[in-house]
């Protein structure tokens, strides 16, 4: 079979954000020293990276598992945790490696301060996302969490609210929602807590996606940020393909001499994008 001779470029702005880089570095350091580490939830929403760390001795555990694990070392990932996770881990004599992203820790503090002031808090985010669970847990789950404006009954919303956002949500959608709430006569105190390391990738990816015949977007299937950024690419370039591993790539997607851009989420490791490049070069 004739080689497709694809012209390939990896987006050098893609890959892990600093919070994920820090968490993985802490995990690797502990694994190198002790060969064992328990991680509460997946360290990053990328199956390939999780598998890589598992081969080094990392064990993923659930909140239910946490109840029974004693005298071990447990890593809290970058997404942040509610206070109850710390209480349970310490009660059982565990050592905690806290890899919560500094941006998340600052957001949790702001969240608590708003609540202590008596503000009515609405949180734009995915209800089951670990960051959202960690945030709402700071205030006894008293915030109203919603993923879409349609989830809310505008007639039942108080006349004055404070609105926060999960850090990885779309900045455009966030402000569109704020606009609709204000149009409905609601006084909104805006707490723009979207991570700029994430939101700044959107305009860069728009430009990147236009430069190629085809785009291969690499991310874990459960990555919230991956879903947002994939749709950014797809909007700009209809020939955008989502993959989680090189094995998912199909030669039928490409024509001879196509230009192909490879990019990914803040939870996508650069080594995985390079493996995707190798797969494409073999076509």
> 107 and 188: one domain?
yes
Q: Domain of 224: which CATH number?
A: 3.40.1010.20
User: How far is C-alpha 225 from the geometric centre of its chain's CA atoms?
Assistant: 4
* Residue 2: inside a domain: no
- CA dist 223 and 225 (Å) reads 5
> 183 and 121: one domain?
yes
> 142 and 110: one domain?
yes
> 186 and 211: one domain?
no
> 64 and 30: one domain?
yes
> 25 and 96: one domain?
yes
> 271 and 205: one domain?
yes
pLDDT digits 0-9 by tens, 170-209: 888 999 999 999 999 999 999 999 988 778 888 999 999 9
Domain count, the chain: 3
Handedness of CA 128, 129, 131, 132 (dihedral sign): negative
- 231 burial (CB, 10 Å; 0-12 / 13-18 / 19+) is middle
> 146 and 174: one domain?
yes
* Residue 87: inside a domain: yes
> 177 and 243: one domain?
no
Q: Domain of 94: which CATH number?
A: 3.40.50.11270
**Of 84, 100, 116, which marks where a domain is finished?**
100
pLDDT digits 0-9 by tens, 3-53: 899 999 999 989 898 899 999 999 999 999 999 999 999 999 899 999 999
pLDDT digits 0-9 by tens, 138-175: 999 999 999 999 999 999 999 999 999 999 888 889 99
**DSSP summary character for residue 55:** T
* Residue 1: inside a domain: no
**Of 80, 100, 120, which marks where a domain is finished?**
100
> 26 and 87: one domain?
yes
**DSSP summary character for residue 152:** S
**Token pair belonging to 253:** 């997607």
Query: In what helix (H) or strand (E) does residue 29 lie, and over which residues does it extend?
Result: helix 18-34
| Average pLDDT along the chain | 95
Handedness of CA 196, 198, 204, 206 (dihedral sign): negative
Sheet with 144-146: list strands edge to edge.
Answer: 144-146, 121-124, 160-165, 187-190
> 165 in helix, strand or coil?
strand
Length of the chain equals 283
Domain, as residue range, for 151: 103-194
- CA dist 92 and 100 (Å) reads 20
> 60 in helix, strand or coil?
strand
> 113 and 189: one domain?
yes
> 121 and 73: one domain?
no
- Active-site residue, from 30, 49, 81, 131: 131
Active site residue 247: no
């Amino acid at each position: 079979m004739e080689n497709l001779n694809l012209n390939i470029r990896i987006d050098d702005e893609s890959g892990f954000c600093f919070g994920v880089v820090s968490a993985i570095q802490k995990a690797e350091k502990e694994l190198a020293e002790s060969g064992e580490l328990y991680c509460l939830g997946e360290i990053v929403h990328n199956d390939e990276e999780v598998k890589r760390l598992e081969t080094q001795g990392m064990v993923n555990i659930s909140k239910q598992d946490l109840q029974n694990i004693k005298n071990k070392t447990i890593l809290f990932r970058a997404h942040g945790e509610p206070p109850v996770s710390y209480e349970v881990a310490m009660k059982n004599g565990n050592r905690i490696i806290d890899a919560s992203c500094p941006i998340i820790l600052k957001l949790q503090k702001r969240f608590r301060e708003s609540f202590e002031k008596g503000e009515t808090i609405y949180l734009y985010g995915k209800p089951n996302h670990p960051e959202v669970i960690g945030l709402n847990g700071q205030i006894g789950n008293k915030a109203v969490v919603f993923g879409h404006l349609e989830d809310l009954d505008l007639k039942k919303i108080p006349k004055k609210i404070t609105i926060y956002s999960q850090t990885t949500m779309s900045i455009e959608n966030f402000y569109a929602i704020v606009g609709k709430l204000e149009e409905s006569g609601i006084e909104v105190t805006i707490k723009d807590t979207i991570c700029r390391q994430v939101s700044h990738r959107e305009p860069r990816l728009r430009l990147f996606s236009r430069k190629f015949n085809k785009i291969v977007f690499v991310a874990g299937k459960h990555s919230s940020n991956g879903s947002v950024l994939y749709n950014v690419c797809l909007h700009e370039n209809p020939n955008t393909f989502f993959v989680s591993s090189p094995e998912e790539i199909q030669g039928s997607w490409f024509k001879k001499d196509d230009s192909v851009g490879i990019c990914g989420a803040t939870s996508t490791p650069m080594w995985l994008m390079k493996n995707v490049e190798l797969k494409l070069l073999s076509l």
